[in-house]
A = this chain, B = another copy of it.
Amino acid sequence: MTKARTRKGRDAEATKQDILAAATVEFSRKGLGGARVDAIALRAKANKRMIYHYFGSKEKLFTAVLEEAYGSIRSAELKLPLAEIEPEEALERLMHFTWDYYLAHPEFISLVNSANLHKARHVKQSERFKTSGPPFVGLVKSILDRGVAKGVFRTGIDPVQLNITIAAIGYYYLTNRFTGEILFEHDFMSEASLAERFAFNLDTILRLVSRHQAGEQMTGK
C-alpha cells in the first residue's frame, strides 16, 4: 500500500530484485555455465541491458545471487529463538529448520553446489562475505555447551564437525535424490520418505551427541 510504485518498470530497486530472483532460478537450475543471460532477462521481464547496468556481468550477478542466498539462510537462522529452550529441543529445532529450509529452498542447495564447482571463487571475491559477522558455527556451539552443562550431551564434540554433519545428512539426500532414486530404487520425495529420512537424521545426531544411549530406538517415526 505504502509502495504505490508504478510497477511498469520505472522502479530501479524492484527491477534489480526481479533480476536477482530470476537469476537465482536460472543459475540454480542450469548452473553458472548453463544459465543464459537472455533467459534471466526474460524471466525477470527486464531488459537485458539492465542486468549489466545493475550487476556488471554474468559472473558478478552470480556472486550477487550467492550473497543473497547465503544472506537469506543466515538471517533466517539467526531468527531462531533457540537460546530460550532446552538444549535437546534446541538441537532438534535447528535440525528441523535446516531440513525445512532445504526443502523450501531447493535452489539454495544447487547454488552452493555451483559455488563449489567454481572453487568458491565468487564467494571469495565478494565483499559481503568478508563482513559475515559472528562465526557461523556459533549456534551449534552454544547448544552443545548448554547440553554439556546440563549433563545431557557428551563433552568433546567439535561443533564445526557437528555443524557439517547436520547439514550433510540433509543436503546430500536432497541434492543427489535423482541419481539416488535410480541407484537405490527408492522414492526419495514422497511425504513418507521425507519424514523417514528426517527421523533417521535426527536419530543419527541424537545418538552422536547424547551422553546416555536409550535403547534400540531413540525417536519414534
Contacts and interface: CB of A to CB of B under 8 A. Distances in A.
A75 interface: no
A158 to B, nearest CB: 7
Interface stretch (A5-13, A90-98, A178-186): A178-186
A164 interface: yes
A81 interface: no
Contacts of A213: 207, 210, 212-213
A171 B168 contact: yes
A216 B212 CA distance: 9
Contact of A184 (B160, B165, B168): B160
Contacts of A168: 168-169, 171-173
Contacts of A145: none
A110 interface: yes
A164 to B, nearest CB: 6
A197 interface: yes
Contacts of A31: 31-34, 114, 117
A149 B176 CA distance: 32
Contact of A172 (B33, B167, B217): B167
A174 to B, nearest CB: 9
A35 to B, nearest CB: 8
A114 B108 CA distance: 15
Contacts of A177: 116
A110 B120 contact: no
A16 interface: no
Contacts of A21: none
Given A31-B32, A116-B176, A164-B169, 10 more contacts: A110-B117, A136-B184, A160-B186, A161-B200, A164-B197, A168-B169, A168-B173, A204-B208, A207-B207, A210-B213
Interface of A: 30-35, 110, 112-117, 119-120, 123-124, 129, 132, 135-137, 154-156, 158, 160-161, 163-165, 167-169, 171-173, 175-186, 196-197, 200-201, 203-204, 207-208, 210-213, 216-217
